Amino acid sequence: MEQFWGTGASPDSLQMTVRGIAVFILALILIRISGRRSFGIGSPLDNIIVILLGAILSRAVVGASPFIPVIVTCSVIVLLHRIISWLKNRSTAFHQFIEGKKILVFKDGRFLYSNMNKALVCKEDIIQGIRKQALTDDLRLIRYVYVEYTGEITVITKD
């Protein structure tokens, strides 16, 4: 295991790649656990790529890690991202496993509190989303409100 994972501050290409894959999986799990509102700009998978590539590439920039293992690791992570994206496009179940599903949090004048708890949003988050998207705070005009897997709030009006 020591040869596969490595020890010390100078892992070789294989060891750094193994570490990169492990960090990729851990980052996906952590972002899924932390909730969709933590990184509400892109999908969890996209956020992981940005975080990992930034962190790993910075090691090459500051000379904290050998250049070749950094490049190999980043290449493997990008390839892993492409493979996962390809699989997401071919399987709805896999897509939902990786990214999650939208959550209905408001329906025809009623807040769905159990779903709000799942999405980690409060009533004010939903009302703010309604004001931003529908340009109203009249809840009678709103049919559905969803928290998308990206963390964004989507509003469907009655008209």
103-117 tens-digit pLDDT: 999 999 999 999 999
Cβ 102 vs Cβ 139: under 8 Å: no
Residue 158 confidence (pLDDT) above 80: yes
Average pLDDT, the chain: 85
13-27 tens-digit pLDDT: 888 888 788 888 877
Reported as a pLDDT band with limits 50, 70 and 90, residue 129 is very high
Measured at the CA of 129, the angle between CA 45 and CA 101, to 5 degrees, comes to 35
The per-residue pLDDT for 29 is 75
pTM of the model: 0.67
114 or 45, which is more confident? 114
Residue 115 CA neighbour count, 13 Å, CB half? 16
